[in-house]
Amino acid sequence: MNEIDHLGASLLAEIASAQDEAALEQIRIAALGKAGSISALLKTLGAMTPDERKEKGPLINGLRDQVQTALSARKDALSEAALEARLASETIDVSLPVREGPEARGRIHPISQVIDEITAIFGDMGFSIAEGPDVETDDLNFTKLNFPVGHPAREMHDTFFFAPDANGERKLLRTHTSPVQVRTMLAQQPPIRVICPGRTYRMDSDQTHTPMFHQVEGLVIDKKAHMGHLKWVLEEFCKAFFEIDTVKMRFRPSFFPFTEPSVEVDIQCSRKGGEIRFGEGEDWLEILGCGMVHPNVLRNCGVDPEIYQGFAWGMGIDRIAMLKYGMPDLRPFFEADVRWLQHYGFRPLDLPTLTGGLSS
């Protein structure tokens, strides 16, 4: 073995056994530094004859390249090992619970959710949303809607009244959303397609009645709207709202002062184990009242009943919310118990749409 081979073998052995970057650097300086062993060999090339140089040059340069490559490889290996060692020491307990984010805690009240659902369905059918005040006049809540003088609803035991004003007029809390029909017809020429969701008030309190509740009214007025259209609108609504493919409805003759003919609508359902399901079963459940707008109401609102006709319906928002989502009791709707709201409420981004589905 000549001197060059010997030096090479010894340097490569040193590199392989170097334990850290500092040791490697020392080896590099000792070999390739100004006074390094390989540098010294390289310096001897200048004094050589061309033949000698031709023979030794490649050997010495080869040695230099070989050592450089080994140094670099060993450096990479050492830094990789150092990283591995560091990573091995850097662990966290991923099972630690994080705080629930605000979007996970927030809730939308079922009434708001159901109003949004109703709006999505009727908005698609071309209905606008009309609103009116909760504090109403006797005229709009009763008289214009064809309630006869002396009707029991006009008495204290059904309706919340305010004290009479200087003119003797006694305001009241609307007992239904129907005065919004009247306001709409008084303000707008047909064709009319509106729904009117809102708060309503009656002196009632038990498991399914509260003194304040929510109703949605629907009104269609044009020159052709008839009961067949009414039936279709309600059937389509019920299918869309309850998210079922078929619905069986029963229309019964009934009576409301503001519609003629008047109809009450039941939907077929099954009740098993306290759960109500629509689109199946043998039971009937009353869901809404409706009818053709009474000619007197049209006249009272400045609409000629010989030219225009139409229909209206009204239903309880809280009630259909209970039917769809299974709340057994109405009273907790207004008690703001966060446990109830967390359970029956909806996540902030559960925005009902017809394209994405009303409920998730």
Partner 1 sequence: MKFTLSWLKDHLDTTDTVEAITEALTRVGLEVEGIEDKAKALAAFTVAYVIDAKQHPNADRLRVCMVDTGAGEPVQVVCGAPNARTGMKSVFSPPGTYIPGKDITLGKGVIRGVESNGMLCSAAELQLSEDHDGIIDLPDDAPVGQSYAAYAGLSDPVIEIAVTPNRADALGVAGIARDLAAVDLGKLKSPSILPVRGSFPCPVEVRLDFAADDKALCPAFGLRLVRGVRNGPSPEWLQARLRAVGLRPINALVDITNFMTLDRNRPLHVFDAAKVKGDLVVRRARAGETIVALDGKTYTLSDEQVVIADDAGVESIAGIMGGEASGCDEGTTDVLVESALWDPLNIARSGRALGITSDARYHFERGVDPDFCRPGLDLATAMIIDLCGGEASQMVFAGELPESPGAIDLPWAEVKRLTGLDLPVVEMKLALTSLGFHVSGPGERVKVAPPSWRADIGGKADLVEEILRIAGLDRVVATPLPRITGEVIKPVLTVLQKRTRSSKRLLASRGMVEAVTWSFISHDQAKLFGGGSRQLVLANPIAADLSDMRPSLLPGLIRAAQANADRGQGDVALFEVGQIFQSDQPEGQLIAAAGLRRGTAKLDGAGRHWDGAAQAVDAFDAKADVMALLSGLGVPTGGLQIVPGGPDWAHPGRSATLRFGPKGVIGAFGEVHPRILKALDVKGPLVAFEIHLDALPLPKFKPTKVKPKLSLSGFQPVTRDFAFIVDKATAAGEMVKSAQNADRALISDVSVFDLYEGVGVEPGKKSVALAVTLQPVEKTLTEAEIEAVGARIVAEMAKRYGAALRG
Distance CA 234, CA 127 (A): 13
- DSSP 3-state assignment of 227? helix
Q: Looking at beta carbons only, is 25 or 222 nearer to partner 1?
A: 222
64/154 with CB nearer partner 1: 154
H or E element in which residue 181 lies: helix 178-187
CB of 56 to partner 1, least distance (A): 55
309-346 b/e (C-beta count within 10 Å ≥ 16 → b): bbbbbbbbbbbbbbbbeebeebebbeeeeeebbeebbb
Question: Between residues 261 and 279, which has the closer beta carbon with respect to partner 1?
Answer: 261
CA distance 236 to 243: 10
Contact string 9-48 vs partner 1 (x = CB under 8 A): ----------------------------------------
What length is written for the chain? 360
205 scored as a contact of partner 1 (CB under 8 A) = yes
Choose between 31 and 238: whose C-beta lies nearer to partner 1. 238
Stretch that binds partner 1, among 55-63, 78-86, 238-246, 342-350 (CB under 8 A): 342-350
Distant-in-sequence, close-in-space partners of 66: CB < 8 Å, separation ≥ 6:
8, 12
| 267-296 binders of partner 1 (CB under 8 A) | 292, 294-296
Residues 241-260 interacting with partner 1 (rule: CB under 8 A): 250-255, 260
Amino acid 215 reads: Q
Binding mask 46-85 for partner 1 (x = CB under 8 A): ----------------------------------------
Would you say 36 or 278 has its CB closer to partner 1?
Answer: 278
Q: Is 138 a residue that touches partner 1 (CB under 8 A)?
A: no
Question: 346, 356, 275, 355: which is closest to 115 by C-alpha?
Answer: 346
Residue of the chain from 76, 139, 232, 270 that contacts partner 1 (CB under 8 A) = 232
Q: Are strands 212-222 and 309-316 parallel, antiparallel or unpaired?
A: antiparallel
Q: What are 37's two structure tokens?
A: 């062993």
Examine residue 143 and tell whether it contacts partner 1 (CB under 8 A). Answer: no
- Read off the DSSP letter of residue 46: G
Q: Taking the complex as a whole, how short is the minimal distance between the CB of residue 312 and partner 1, in angstroms?
A: 13
Nearer to partner 1, 36 or 197 (CB): 197
Decide: helix, strand or coil at residue 260.
strand
Question: For partner 1, what does the binding mask look like between residues 93 and 132, x meaning CB under 8 A?
Answer: ---x-xxxxxxxxxxxx-xx---x--x---xxxxxxx-xx
Q: Which of residues 61, 208, 262, 359 is near partner 1 by CB under 8 A?
A: 262
- 217 and 313 in contact (C-beta within 8 Å)? yes
The answer to whether 224 touches 204, Cβ cutoff 8 Å, is no
Nearer to partner 1 among residue 277 and residue 347 (C-beta): 347
